[in-house]
Chain A
Amino acid sequence: MSALPIGMYVPGNSILHRLDPRVKMGATLVLMMIPFAVHGLWGYVALSTFVVTAVLLSGVPLGALLRTLRTVFWIAFLMFFLYLFTTPGEPLLALGSIAITRQGLLAAVAQIYRLCLLVTVASLLTFTTSPIHLTHGLEAMLSPLERARLPVRELAMVLTIALRFVPTLQEEIDKIAKAQRARGADFRTGGPLRRARNLVPIFVPIFVSAFRRADELATAMDARGFRSALHRTRMRKLRLGSLDLLATLIVMGLVLTVIWLG
């Protein structure tokens, strides 16, 4: 294990950790959409206050959040300049044929802000919700689609298994990378093509072991009588509490405020 994997669950007992996953997922969806309804300064202030408060309440280490945000740095960088140079309007600074406009600058800043907000909100969900809760929540939210013959429970199962193996794979990649480095493999120099080729000694072994693991897991599930069509009961049923109601009301309040502020 090297660094904390991106978006990994951070165990804790904050208010955010205790919320029902369905409420958190609903709130996350809403919060990912409302930045697009915000146009004025006060709307942004209200939204930011809410998100910052949520981050502080969650008790998630800020370093981990910043590391997650760093992953979108290049996308943000690109977006910033795209909006900066391509938005028509009142010019602030002209460089030959291209000009930076006031509208462009505002749009660029707004886009970066939205992107950061999106990433923050999404990672708050994964930081404070264990994979098991996440899939239970997803299953519950998708269950209406079962009528449309969508195999919701199986999908949730597949997702649980996939999430469960993310840290395992990460550890394995780390180990193989080290083993190949000890044999003189170099992953840090050369052009992009060369670097991509240098990854072969890592990815071939990882694929081999992933397939082997999948096989073993399937055998183990089969041996314990796993059948996908059965209706499974849960040890812990999801139940909405007063905290969940409160959180829902607060998020609804936020949405109304933001729309009202414009």
Chain B
Amino acid sequence: MLIQVENLTHIYNQGTPFERVALREVNLEIEAGERIGILGPTGSGKSTLVQHLAGLLKPTAGRVLLEGTPIHSKGATARKLRLQVGLAFQYPEDQIFEQTVFREVAFGPRNLGLDEAEVAARVNWALEMVGLDPVAVAQRMPFTLSGGEMRRVALASILAMRPRVLILDEPTAGQDPQGRRALLDKVGAWQRETNMTLIVVSHALEDLARLVERVIALREGRVVADGPTRQVLSDVKLLRAIGLDVPQPVALLQALRQAGKEVRVDRFLPAEAASEIARVWGLRGSVT
């Protein structure tokens, strides 16, 4: 067991008029190498949960264990553990501060205490992983890059730490559809190459569908569903109850079923749904 969340409760501004409960008695278990999506409407506690997984918040009650050790405790051991979890916040480009792309990406590896040769190797590797040419961008000022490039630099600065767990909070927020797809494909490739545990927060179901194998749904600080992607994303009742749109292919199949067609509804990719419809209508061939 890599990560265990036990009875985690988080209350912001406890004891003040601004008190707000963000997480209520959350229990989770995450295995090494899993690809997990965290789903939920705004204010459901997604961001709070992932900050706890990275040991950045102190639980009001309960605890988060990484390989059996409480991740938020004081001391060098817990700090080392925390550095094995990489967290990219929403709009990670906001955290850029260095004068060159190289130094920005090297910030994390240097904090790990690596020697300069290793730091340089990691910077080059990370920049290549996000699809930037190290030779072309390493000495440029980050603020002269485009928004999409800045986001990739910020993500590279986290990848360069070689985290065992990579958490992305709304990685595609504010990007155009093509940029989204390209970025998500890259994230999938990183996961395959490094076999790290991947946790992606999103309220865009289409983002999660391709990338993750397990979905955890939150609502008002509680886990309301936790299961295989196919199962959670085709659970129309659940998705509507937590206030999220049903993936369009699923909605279409659902409508066909209500019209009396014997279709399966757990086909959330457009091509899958098309094959299912072709099958039911007895059309030959399949759509790929």
> What is A's interface to B at a CB cutoff of 8 Å?
1, 3-4, 10-12, 61, 63-64, 172, 175-176, 178-186, 200-202, 204-205, 208-209
Distance, CA A160 to CA B56, complexed state (A): 33
Of the candidates A63, A64, A182, A185, which one forms a contact with B87 in the assembled complex, judged by CB atoms under 8 Å apart? A182
Distance, CA A64 to CA B94, complexed state (A): 31
12 A/B residue pairs, CB under 8 Å, sorted by A: A1-B12, A63-B16, A175-B94, A178-B89, A182-B82, A182-B86, A182-B87, A200-B97, A201-B107, A204-B97, A205-B95, A209-B94
Contact B51 A178 (CB under 8 A): yes
Distance, CA A12 to CA B16, complexed state (A): 12
Distance, CA A11 to CA B83, complexed state (A): 40
**A contact residues around B111 at 8 Å (CB):** 183-186
**Docked complex: B69-107 residues within 8 A CB-CB of A:** 82-83, 85-87, 89, 92, 94-97, 107
Distance, CA A1 to CA B57, complexed state (A): 11
Contact of B143 with A by CB under 8 A: yes
Least Cβ–Cβ distance between B151 and chain A, in angstroms: 13
**Docked complex: B50-80 residues within 8 A CB-CB of A:** 51, 54, 56
A176-B95, A182-B54, A184-B112 given; name 7 further pairs at CB < 8 Å: A3-B13, A4-B16, A172-B94, A182-B86, A183-B108, A205-B96, A205-B97
Q: A175-B89, A182-B86 are contacts. A4–B95 as well, Cβ < 8 Å?
A: no
Distance, CA A205 to CA B92, complexed state (A): 11
Contact A61 B15 (CB under 8 A): yes
Chain B interface size band reads 20 to 34
Contact B85 A63 (CB under 8 A): no
Distance, CA A56 to CA B119, complexed state (A): 58
Contact B107 A183 (CB under 8 A): yes
